[in-house]
């Protein structure tokens, strides 16, 4: 056990150092990622001015969201996505399978999924260390969009829990998709479709409450909402009480499900995998 | 007397070669066309949702001069203009601009410099991505559909002016892109510059009326007069949705300005491009 901890620690440390090399570019990139929010601020202002017929904008509600809620929601999904997005994970796994790099996990006494998970954790830790400043800066500037300030401690705890699970769900979901590379050589178009659905149905582009009827129900069933919408909704108090507890359990269940699916896919995939040369 | 190459013929050859290339991988071509279209349809879905909650975007009463209240189908006309401009930029220049960055990094720009043809022309149009033109078709289709829904038939002059200013818009976007790509000669790498391009053009995708108030007005001014991305879609789109009769001085002035801005952008980007070439130091040759 101590030996294994040492291995994990080493992996984590190497990944940390690797990630810190480009910290300047990182911080700047993070700040720029908020630019599209600026257009959202103006777009929704225009929408709300037109929608508020006869009443003040502060009182106007669209699917239960005030203007401030909308902007706060967009800012919060940025936080959710900072946890749940895994750039290049699935495509990386698929590439490793295709070009045979995956062999190294089969030969060396390292488990691929654990290795990648640690790698991502290191990436995220560095990301938060560097990105906290730009995030704090933007949230400070946008303080007006959060008229209620911080939520209560219990809600905050639930929020943090949902963020951590968003990270795990994002990881195992993408890892599972990457494993499809064992069966199909080229998964880039599949990944594009996933990315597309992710962008729209995780709530990154708009609060999923806006979707009516059939689509609204579909989106509530599939796990994508836990990657962006759910944590933000928890923070804003859109999900409360028993519904909140239930939501957290469902999110947990999805994490466990995809944890097993990714592992099963890896085992089945390795069985049909054949490595040559090397 | 040595005559220069026929640029039109060279361009047509590029176009034909790219088409042959695209058609070699037909499955991939179809997937690419389809996936960029699905992105568009998802976006359209978003705006359909937005318009379920509001009758229009932008208000005439609050911001005089050059303003317009975009109803659902008027906004779709705006959106279709965005689509046309973007698909043309993507089809003609996007791949070439990123290839340009690669050429600088790897030193293959040497070969382009040696060819007896204008380097900027060669770099900018070498490859055409035909699959991006799918969205041009979607854009035209959406425009026709929206015009039908509004029950409005634009005159021939309006369509011609629309096309002229779409071309101006493409030229402005191109200038911005090639100038940004050229800076990679100085910086070595241009990863975040591409993000920068994406984020800046993001501002062009909305009617300029939405930028108002204490922060909005300076922003609108900046993206109209300093980096003219706001005129790219706004000016042509307006030619399509409204009768040609100018109602305020701005209706005349802004198109004129857009034209001037196009020329200035092209000249400016050419200057940046040539300046950057002077600093090119090749790689390992």
ipTM above 0.95, yes or no: no
Say if the Cβ atoms of A47 and B57 lie within 8 Å: yes
Residue B44 forms contact with A (CB below 8 Å):
no
Q: Which residues pair with B57 in a beta bridge?
A: B70
Residue A208 forms contact with B (CB below 8 Å):
no
Give the mutation candidate from A30, A50, A196 for the B interface (greatest B CB count, under 10 A).
Answer: A50
What is the structure's pLDDT at B60?
57
Cβ-Cβ contacts under 8 Å, B209 against chain A: 46
Cβ-Cβ contacts under 8 Å, B199 against chain A: 32, 35-36
Query: What is the chain B residue with the closest CA to A62?
Result: B53
Whether the Cβ atoms of residue B25 and residue B32 lie closer than 8 Å to each other: no
Question: Structure tokens of B79?
Answer: 């959106």
Residue B194 forms contact with A (CB below 8 Å):
no
Q: Pairing relation of β-strands B70-71 and B56-57?
A: antiparallel
Whether the Cβ atoms of residue A236 and residue A71 lie closer than 8 Å to each other: no
Residue B55 forms contact with A (CB below 8 Å):
yes
What is the structure's pLDDT at B115?
87
Measured in angstroms, the CA of A199 and the nearest CA of chain B are apart by 10
d(CA B180, CA B22) in angstroms, rounded, equals 27
Give the mutation candidate from B50, B75, B82, B219 for the A interface (greatest A CB count, under 10 A).
Answer: B50
- CA geometry: angle at B264 spanning B261 and B266, to 5°? 110
Alpha helices in chain B (DSSP H): 7-24, 26-53, 72-89, 95-106, 109-114, 119-125, 134-150, 156-182, 184-187, 191-201, 213-221, 230-241, 249-278
What Rg value do the Cα atoms of chain A yield, rounded?
21
Say if the Cβ atoms of B57 and A192 lie within 8 Å: no
Neighbours of A217 (CB within 10 A): 10
Measured in angstroms, the CA of A63 and the nearest CA of chain B are apart by 9
**What is the full DSSP assignment across B167-204?**
HHHHHHHHHHHHHHHHTHHHHS--HHHHHHHHHHHGGG
Residue ranges of chain A with per-residue pLDDT less than 50: none
Give the mutation candidate from A22, A42, A145 for the B interface (greatest B CB count, under 10 A).
Answer: A42
Residue A38 forms contact with B (CB below 8 Å):
yes
What is the structure's pLDDT at A1?
66
Cβ-Cβ contacts under 8 Å, A210 against chain B: 49, 52-53
Q: Which of A36, A39, A200 sits opposite B42 (nearest CB)?
A: A200
Residue A29 forms contact with B (CB below 8 Å):
yes
Measured in angstroms, the CA of A51 and the nearest CA of chain B are apart by 5
Measured in angstroms, the CA of A21 and the nearest CA of chain B are apart by 15
Say if the Cβ atoms of A43 and B53 lie within 8 Å: no
Measured in angstroms, the CA of B218 and the nearest CA of chain A are apart by 13
d(CA B67, CA A236) in angstroms, rounded, equals 35
Cβ-Cβ contacts under 8 Å, A45 against chain B: 210, 213
Residue ranges of chain B with per-residue pLDDT less than 70: 1-3, 59-67, 188-194, 283-285
Nearest to B35 by CA among B128, B125, B127, B138: B138
Say if the Cβ atoms of A29 and B205 lie within 8 Å: no
Say if the Cβ atoms of A199 and B42 lie within 8 Å: yes
Q: Structural domain boundaries of chain A?
A: 2-272
Cβ-Cβ contacts under 8 Å, B74 against chain A: none
d(CA B53, CA A210) in angstroms, rounded, equals 9
pLDDT tens column, A80-136: 998 998 888 998 998 888 888 888 888 887 888 988 998 888 888 888 887 788 788
Residue A62 forms contact with B (CB below 8 Å):
yes
Nearest to B142 by CA among B200, B207, B84, B221: B84
């Amino acid at each position: 056990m101590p030996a294994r901890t040492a291995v994990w620690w080493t992996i984590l440390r190497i990944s940390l150092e690797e990630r810190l090399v480009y910290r300047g570019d990182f911080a700047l990139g993070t700040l720029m990622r908020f630019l599209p929010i600026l257009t959202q601020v103006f777009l929704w202002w225009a929408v709300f001015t037109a929608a508020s017929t006869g009443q003040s904008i502060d009182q106007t509600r669209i699917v239960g969201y005030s203007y401030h809620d909308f902007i706060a929601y967009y800012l919060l999904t940025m936080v959710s996505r900072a946890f749940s997005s895994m750039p290049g994970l699935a495509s990386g796994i698929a590439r490793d399978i295709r070009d045979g790099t995956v062999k190294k996990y089969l030969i060396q006494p390292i488990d691929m999924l654990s290795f990648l998970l640690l790698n991502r954790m290191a990436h995220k830790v560095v990301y938060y260390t560097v990105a906290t400043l730009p995030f704090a800066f933007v949230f400070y500037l946008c303080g007006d969009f959060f008229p209620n300030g911080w939520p209560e401690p219990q809600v905050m705890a639930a929020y943090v829990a949902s963020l951590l699970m968003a990270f795990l769900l994002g990881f195992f979901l993408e890892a599972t998709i990457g494993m499809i590379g064992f069966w199909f050589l080229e998964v880039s178009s599949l990944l594009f479709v996933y990315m597309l659905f992710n962008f729209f149905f995780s709530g990154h582009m708009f609060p999923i409450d806006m979707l009516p009827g059939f689509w609204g129900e579909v989106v509530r069933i599939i796990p994508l909402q836990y990657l962006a919408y759910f944590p933000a909704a928890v923070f804003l108090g859109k999900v409360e009480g028993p519904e909140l507890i239930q939501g957290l359990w469902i999110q947990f269940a999805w994490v466990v499900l995809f944890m097993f699916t990714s592992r099963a896919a890896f085992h089945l995939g390795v069985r049909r995998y054949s490595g040559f040369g090397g | 007397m040595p005559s220069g190459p026929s640029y039109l013929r060279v361009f047509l050859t590029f176009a034909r070669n790219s088409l042959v290339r695209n058609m070699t991988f037909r499955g991939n071509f179809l997937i690419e066309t389809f996936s960029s279209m699905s992105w568009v349809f998802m976006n359209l879905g978003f705006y359909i949702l937005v318009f379920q909650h509001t009758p229009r975007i932008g208000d005439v009463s609050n911001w005089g001069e050059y303003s317009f209240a975009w109803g659902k189908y008027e906004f779709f006309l705006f959106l279709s203009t965005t689509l046309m401009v973007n698909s043309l930029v993507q089809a003609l220049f996007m791949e070439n601009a990123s290839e340009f960055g690669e050429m600088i990094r790897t030193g293959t720009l040497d070969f382009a410099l040696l060819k007896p043809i204008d380097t900027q022309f060669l770099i900018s149009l070498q490859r055409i991505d035909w699959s991006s033109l799918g969205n041009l078709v979607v854009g035209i289709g959406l425009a026709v559909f929206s015009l039908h829904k509004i029950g409005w038939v634009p005159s021939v002059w309006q369509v011609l002016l629309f096309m002229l200013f779409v071309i101006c818009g493409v030229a402005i976007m191109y200038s911005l892109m090639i100038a940004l790509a050229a800076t990679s000669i100085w910086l070595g790498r241009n990863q975040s510059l591409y993000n920068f391009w994406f984020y800046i053009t993001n501002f062009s995708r909305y009617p300029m009326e939405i930028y108002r108030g204490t922060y909005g007005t300076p922003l609108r001014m900046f993206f109209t007069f300093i980096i003219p991305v706001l005129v790219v879609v706004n000016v042509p789109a307006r030619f399509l949705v409204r009768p040609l009769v100018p109602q305020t001085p701005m209706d005349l002035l802004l198109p004129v300005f857009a034209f001037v801005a196009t020329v200035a952008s092209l000249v400016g980007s050419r200057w940046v491009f040539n300046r950057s070439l002077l600093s090119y130091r090749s790689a390992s040759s």
